[in-house]
Amino acid sequence: MPLEPNSTPDTDSLVKRLAGPSTTKAGLAIDQSGINRIIAEASKGSKFYENEKRKDKDLTERIARILRHRDEVLKGVDIHSIEHGVDQLLFKLEGQRDLTQTIVHVDMDAFYASVELLDDPSLEGRPFAVVGKGVLTTASYEARKYGVRSGMAGFIAKKLCPHLILVGNHFDRYLEMSRRVMDIFRRYDPNMCAASCDEGYINITAYCEDHQLTAEECVQQMREAVQKETRLTVSAGIAPNKMLAKICSDKNKPNGQFKLESDPATIKEFMHDLSIRKLPGVGRVNERLLESIDIKASIHEAILPEFILS
């Protein structure tokens, strides 16, 4: 399509930003470049587009300032001495690592959409999304195949999937089902930490010891109890700390589980080639900031231990 007079192509960073914060959701296509271009074109002329364009420009300028400051600070610096100091810090951190606990991150599969499906079985196998105030709060796995995802405006979702069914949200119902699910999780850890209405962290160390279960057996039992008693499915990650468990819970979604062995070598191997976007707390902005200083598709060995400590 030819450009209009005085218009310029969207930058790659803007196109990526317009794609939204949920591009790593389970069920989405691995290569989303074509989908992202459709989203960018569909967004043009909207307040959302102009706001994201301004934020992208501000971030570009911020990165330029950071790089100038970095270059200035590094002038005449003894890099070897700094690396030696970092090595000493990492050695100290390694000694503080606790790999004795078994932590599970449980994450309900497309929770709002799954609850809606319980109440309206006609939605089974069809692309649909739960929407509130024009913005999607979740999408069924059938809808995600088209690039539809949470945080997306309804009109953009319709561009990607014209036959998408939009369903209003019912928060009272979600809270009711959340309470039922959390009650099941508390059987395994009365002190479990609910991170939201559809996810939480459970320390199953004591439960496994008391009931002579492996971690995998315990989590399988837990997930089966949820499905039997609520007809909902849950995915789980098993690891020695919360952050690793959260990353692991996404490995076999939906309705699956993944265990990361509790030894440093296995953990480092697991993290080495992991996309930095998979780290909790690293969203669109932090991802781009880190990429600007050459921390890109893998977790740099120098920062790995600090990230994976409890």
- What one-character-per-residue DSSP string does 24-65 give? T-TTS-S--HHHHHHHHHHHTTSHHHHHHHHHHHHHHHHHHH
Q: What is the pLDDT of residue 2?
A: 41
Rg (the chain; Cα; Å): 22
Give the start-end residues of each E strand in 37-145: 103-108, 128-132, 135-139
For the segment 44-97, what is each residue's pLDDT rounded down to a tens digit?
Answer: 888 888 988 999 999 999 999 999 998 888 888 888 888 899 889 988 888 888
- Domains 103-109+172-308 and 111-170 alike in fold: no
- Give dist(CA 115, CA 299) in Å, integer: 36
Give the fold, CATH level 3, of 103-109+172-308: Alpha-Beta Plaits (3.30.70)
- Give dist(CA 31, CA 33) in Å, integer: 6
Residue 214 DSSP SS3: coil
For the segment 134-145, what is each residue's pLDDT rounded down to a tens digit?
Answer: 899 999 999 999
The residue ranges of every structural domain in the chain are 103-109+172-308, 111-170
**pLDDT over threshold 70, residue 30:** no
Residues of the chain with pLDDT > 70: what percent?
Answer: 88
Nearest to 260 by CA among 95, 101, 30: 101
- 199 catalytic? Reply is yes
**pLDDT over threshold 50, residue 24:** yes
pLDDT band at 301 (very low <50, low <70, confident <90, very high): very low
pLDDT band at 299 (very low <50, low <70, confident <90, very high): low
Which H or E element spans position 87?
helix 79-96
For the segment 57-69, what is each residue's pLDDT rounded down to a tens digit?
Answer: 999 999 999 999 9
**pLDDT over threshold 70, residue 285:** yes
Question: Which residue among 199, 287, 301, 306 is the active-site one?
Answer: 199
Among 3.40.1170.60, 3.55.40.20, 2.30.40.10, 3.40.640.10, name the CATH number for the domain at 111-170: 3.40.1170.60
Between residues 168 and 284, the one the model is more confident about = 168
Residue 107 DSSP SS3: strand
**pLDDT over threshold 70, residue 21:** no
Between residues 83 and 246, the one the model is more confident about = 246
Residues of the chain with pLDDT > 90: what percent?
Answer: 55
For the segment 213-231, what is each residue's pLDDT rounded down to a tens digit?
Answer: 999 999 999 999 999 999 9
Q: What is the mean pLDDT of residues 293-306?
A: 55
**pLDDT over threshold 80, residue 304:** no
Q: What is the pLDDT of residue 167?
A: 96
Nearest to 242 by CA among 276, 283, 193, 275: 193
